[in-house]
Chain A
Amino acid sequence: MFVSWRVKAAFIGPAVAYFGVFLLVPVLAALGFAWTRWSGIDLAQATWNGTGNFTALVSDAVFKEALVHTLTYVVVSTVFVNVIGLALALLINTRVRGHEALRVAMFVPLALSPVIVAVLWQYLLGPYGFVNQVLGSVLGVTDKPVSFLGDPHLAFITVIAATIWQFAGGNMLLYYAGLQSLPQERMEAAAIDGAGWLSRLRWVVLPHLRPTVAVVVALNLIGGWKVFDLVYVLTRGGPDRSTEVLSTYLYEQAFTLNNVGFASAIACVICLLAVVSTLVRRPIAGVEY
């Protein structure tokens, strides 16, 4: 059916133009700002800085810390949301009484803003929070409240735990969807051959889910680099930079210290990590993909 190019352009044009102006150009501009020394707002004041921001980045101790924290955060939370998501998907796949309740419970955190998640966990772990109540007055194992967000190690673990809590449900749903297409006969054949549940998991279920694992892991990695709100509200990168991630450091550099050039160099690194993480799909999915 003939359609003139004008009509096609009218359908596609607005979205493409909008995408270009409000997403593509800002990202490209950030890649460009990384080569300048600039305090923001008036572009006329920007001066060329060459690779200056990148060399500064390499020797910046906080940047190195933020990079290590970001990588650790993304990798550890991805591993846990996948293991927990898959285990819970297998659990609800039993379709026993109560599986629907678990499904609904796992849905709830997916609707929450990371800001709300941060507030919930702040109160849960606060000096008079649920965890300290249980440790102090129910179990009586601590005589003074544990300061989860005041201790560098515990604060970092808390950030990861809150992330896992929020996103494990999404992975559970995706793995559950993947399990629905597993042919029943294959499971029964393996059972008749005397395969125990562990070898059925290893040789039947996991190979079947391999493409699902590949996309889910890629999604988790891409989502992981986006972390900002949770850390900003829960810890502000503290105590003593122990939870500083690239995006919170970028925010500080850009909006508190007005080092737009330096902040944009951090943006380049985040972009690079996001792009690289899409390359994990192929090896995980295997040759047939």
Chain B
Amino acid sequence: MSAIEQGIGAGGGRASVRRRAGSRDGIRRALASIMCIGIGIVYLLPLLWVVTLSVRGRTDVLSLRVLPHSFRPRNYVDAFTQFKLGTLLLHSAFITAGAVALSVAMSVTAAYAMSRWRSRLTEGLFLLILLGLMVPPATMIVPFFVVMINLGFYNSLVAVILGEAAFGLPLGILILRGYIDRIPPELTDAARVDGATPWRAFRLVALPLLRPAVATVALFITLSAWNDFLLPLVLLPDATSSTITVGLASSVGTYGQLQPGLLAAASLMAVVPVLAVFMAARRYYVGGLSAGALKS
């Protein structure tokens, strides 16, 4: 508890800590450091342990020894071919790219209009679309499935893209509208005075300024589309040529007990692309998280 006490004491400022610097304080800070590192390591244990599992040989995976006694990196190659990860990853990437493009394009224009041309109508539409943030996917999955079958999109990646984009739209509009509100309208008005159409003013003046917000929205939709399970599970009947999440879940169900090493390797390969994107773009994540939280 001393570390938490320290957190309240410091309150985010270094100056006060320095002023009160004493040996007791030094010990507290050392303890807080140890807690940070310790909790961090414990926190990543599930992932780290699966990394060790992924390189164990066939007999070593079924042992009670914590550390591996074999090293078999070939698990990764075998898992990649056996579970057709190439196809699965490609499908996930295609769906993610499609969903990001579709929902960013629609939400950035709508958010711009809802920010700039406020009326009771646009405000009402904004609040209506925000309701979409609350919808648990399971509640709309049956009618969505029926519509896709009747449109002939069943067993097509397009159906999954359409669904993921629909889930991405409300968050996109929320984040982007909040951001556009903070851009002075004088900038686009100046372009209009110089003879630009509303579209050109948006396209050439506003849009370049929106890049960080667009990055935030793209990151959130990338995460939700890449990681989603329910839509591809329902809309793509063949698990072996579905997305990485459905393919992996199905392989775990079938081979999970027989080949833990291979499935551990497959899971890690499924994580690496999205984790890399996430870590590279994580500064955009916090902004979106609090935008979603702090607006009503």
Contacts and interface: CB of A to CB of B under 8 A. Distances in A.
A59 interface: no
B138 A124 contact: no
Interface in B37-52: 37, 39-41, 43-47, 49-50
Given A14-B109, A40-B146, A182 B36 contact: no
Contacts of A11: 109-110, 112-113, 117, 198, 202
Interface in A111-138: 111-116, 118-124, 126, 128-130, 132-134, 136-138
Contact of A119 (B33, B35, B133, B248): B248
A133 to B, nearest CB: 5
A215 B274 CA distance: 27
Contact of B144 (A26, A121, A123, A191): A26
A126 to B, nearest CB: 7
A177 B53 contact: no
A22 B144 contact: yes
Interface in B206-230: 223, 226-230
Interface in A180-227: 180, 182, 184, 187-188, 191, 197, 200-201, 204-205, 212, 215-216, 219, 222, 225-226
Contacts, number: 333
A130 B66 contact: yes
Contact of B134 (A197, A222, A233, A254): A222
10 closest residue pairs by CB, A with B: A113-B227, A90-B7, A15-B110, A11-B113, A29-B143, A197-B5, A105-B40, A26-B140, A111-B278, A247-B138
Interface of B: 3-14, 16, 29, 32-37, 39-41, 43-47, 49-50, 53, 61-66, 105-107, 109-110, 112-114, 117, 122, 125, 128-129, 132-147, 149, 162-163, 165-167, 169-170, 173, 185, 188-189, 192, 198-199, 202, 223, 226-230, 234, 245-246, 248-249, 252, 256, 260, 263-264, 267, 270-271, 274-275, 278-279, 282, 285-286, 289-290, 292-294
